[in-house]
Amino acid sequence: MRQSLRVSRLNGDAAHTLTCMNRLCEMFGIEFPIFAFTHCRDVAAAVSRAGGMGVLGALAFSPEQLELELKWIDEHVDGKPYGVDVVIPVKSADREMGLSDEKSLAETLRGMITDEHWEFVHKILADHGVPDEPDGSGGGAGNGSPLDQGVLGWTELTGAPLIDIALAHPIKLLASALGPPPPEAIERAHAQDVKVAALIGRKEQALRDVQTGVDIIIAQGYEAGGHTGEVASMVLIPDVVDAVSPTPVLAAGGIGSGRQMAAAMALGADGVWTGSVWLTVAESDMSPPIMEKLLSATATDTVRSRSMTGKPARQLRTAWTEAWESPESPGTLPMPLQFILWSYATRRITAAGNRELLGMPVGQIVSRMNKVRTAKEVVYEMVEEYIEVTERMNKALADA
Ligand SMILES: Cc1cc2nc3c(=O)[nH]c(=O)nc-3n(C[C@H](O)[C@H](O)[C@H](O)COP(=O)(O)O)c2cc1C
């Protein structure tokens, strides 16, 4: 990896001049190879303005909402590059059933959830004092669009329109998790000079995705927040770098400081893809109870559990995650069915302000997320520490 650093440290935030160039910085026209996954447009725009690359997670938005979010980013990013992330599961219940009618999608999926599962959800809520819904609607999770009913953009049917919206904006990166974007979307992205990245948790997935035309592999280790595989970053990253070379690799999972960034680069990554660390920045839209929980949690307060989406996802350990591990649990359902249960329960848990059940995807790095900083401070402190540690290691070598 070619890399040159120009550092001039002066007092005061605005006076920092840090430039860190490598091939990913050149590819995107960014100052630092720090990629920030976030569901919050303010955070995405702030990271891009600070010299990194903000990437907005589109999963939870309807196409109409996503359009508004991206329009806002276009107006607030000062012309800096940014990206969009979608979730395209290779395996999910709707794909396996061949469901292709958007109108009946939510209804059909909800019909696949057993009474036993709904009863278990109601028992968890009752056991923790979450009051019944005023209309007594039981297992109802809204009657609107698939999105309202907890299906989100992670069926092929609900995810595809999000890609259309994303590609109608001046994005520079289209990323996807749980599988590469469809070949047609990759072609369209490339025709618009948009790079395509895919998150993977195993070397084999990286090799598969490179074959489909993905430009950048995001190798995400077990420590990470959200859906994770079983291989730790320390082992996964060099394996993937070697397997897909010369394709650039972003390291993800457990990265929130300059020392961790330096470690990722030492493992052969071209940059870092971060998620958890942005949840507690000043620009974040986290609710106060979640923010409080995140700021006080340690690495062992997270657990990799299927109880949110049906696929293993690292999140805060809560009474909800524990209940699904208990002997009374009927077992979690496959994606996207489990998420329908989770989003129904979360609506009620949030309304009741129940702290024991309230959860959030977050990685083990949560142990270092102890104070609120601005996104710019996070970027700058990461780069400064990265430079310090690189200089320290160079000096150790020179002194040897
Ligand atoms: C709250 C949260 C939600 C996430 N949702 C998604 C998602 O929708 N799509 C995606 O590609 N990755 C998602 N991720 C994973 C991140 O993209 C990233 O790979 C991960 O956070 C990196 O590890 P870290 O949490 O240790 O920084 C999510 C992560 C978190 C913390």
* Ligand 1 within 6 A of CB of 59: yes
In sequence order, which residues have a C-beta less than 8 Å from that of residue 338 and are 6 or more positions away?
306, 307, 308, 309, 310, 332
Residue that wins the pLDDT comparison between 53 and 135? 53
Question: What's the one-letter identity of residue 236?
Answer: L
Note the pLDDT of residue 135.
60
Which H or E run includes 321? helix 319-325
Note the pLDDT of residue 294.
98
**Ligand 1 nearest atom to the CA of residue 199, by list position:** 11
Note the pLDDT of residue 132.
84
**Closest Cα to atom 14, ligand 1: which residue?**
226
In sequence order, which residues have a C-beta less than 8 Å from that of residue 78 and are 6 or more positions away?
48, 49
* Ligand 1 within 6 A of CB of 361: yes
* pLDDT of 230 strictly over 60: yes
CA-closest candidate to residue 189, choices 210, 208, 200, 173: 173
Please, which residues bridge with residue 303 across strands? 315
Note the pLDDT of residue 93.
63
Note the pLDDT of residue 105.
75
Q: How far is the CA of 7 from the centre of ligand 1 (A)?
A: 30
In sequence order, which residues have a C-beta less than 8 Å from that of residue 107 and are 6 or more positions away?
none
Could you tell me the two tokens for 286? 């986290």
* pLDDT of 304 strictly over 90: yes
**Ligand 1 nearest atom to the CA of residue 256, by list position:** 27
Taking all residues of the chain, what is their mean pLDDT, rounded to a whole number? 89
Q: How confident is the model at residue 398 (pLDDT cuts 50, 70, 90)?
A: confident
Q: How confident is the model at residue 144 (pLDDT cuts 50, 70, 90)?
A: very low
Give the predicted TM-score (pTM) of the model: 0.91
Which H or E run includes 5? strand 4-8
State how beta strands 34-38 and 17-21 pair: unpaired
Q: How far is the CA of 127 from the centre of ligand 1 (A)?
A: 30
Residue that wins the pLDDT comparison between 206 and 154? 206
Per-residue pLDDT, averaged over 205-231, amounts to 97
Q: How confident is the model at residue 94 (pLDDT cuts 50, 70, 90)?
A: low
* pLDDT of 141 strictly over 90: no
Is the bond preceding 246 in cis, omega lying within 30 degrees of 0?
Answer: yes
Residue 377 in contact with residue 14, Cβ under 8 Å?
A: no
For residue 370, give Cα distances in angstroms to 16, 274, 281, 367, 388.
24, 17, 10, 7, 22
Q: How confident is the model at residue 9 (pLDDT cuts 50, 70, 90)?
A: very low
Residue 217 in contact with residue 195, Cβ under 8 Å?
A: no
Residue that wins the pLDDT comparison between 41 and 1? 41
Q: How confident is the model at residue 148 (pLDDT cuts 50, 70, 90)?
A: low
Residue 73 in contact with residue 82, Cβ under 8 Å?
A: yes
Question: What's the one-letter identity of residue 31?
Answer: E
Residue that wins the pLDDT comparison between 20 and 325? 325
pLDDT digits 0-9 by tens, 105-140: 777 888 889 999 999 999 999 999 999 876 655 554
Per-residue pLDDT, averaged over 187-216, amounts to 97
- Mutation to probe ligand 1, out of 37, 47, 285 (largest number of atoms < 8 A from CB): 37
* Ligand 1 within 6 A of CB of 177: yes
In sequence order, which residues have a C-beta less than 8 Å from that of residue 153 and are 6 or more positions away?
58, 59, 60, 61, 86, 87, 147, 159, 162
**Ligand 1 nearest atom to the CA of residue 275, by list position:** 21
Question: What's the one-letter identity of residue 379?
Answer: V
Least confident of 7-11, 146-150, 177-181, 291-295: 7-11
Note the pLDDT of residue 234.
98
Note the pLDDT of residue 180.
87
C-alpha dihedral sign at 65, 56, 217, 275: negative
Note the pLDDT of residue 160.
83
Note the pLDDT of residue 214.
97
* Ligand 1 within 6 A of CB of 276: yes
pLDDT digits 0-9 by tens, 324-368: 999 999 999 998 899 999 999 999 999 999 999 999 999 999 999
**Ligand 1 nearest atom to the CA of residue 218, by list position:** 19
* pLDDT of 147 strictly over 60: no
* Ligand 1 within 6 A of CB of 362: yes
For 18-85, give the DSSP string.
EEEE-HHHHHHT-SS-EEEEES-HHHHHHHHHTTSEEEEE-TTS-HHHHHHHHHHHHHHSTT--EEEE
Question: What's the one-letter identity of residue 91?
Answer: K
* Ligand 1 within 6 A of CB of 201: no
* Ligand 1 within 6 A of CB of 275: yes
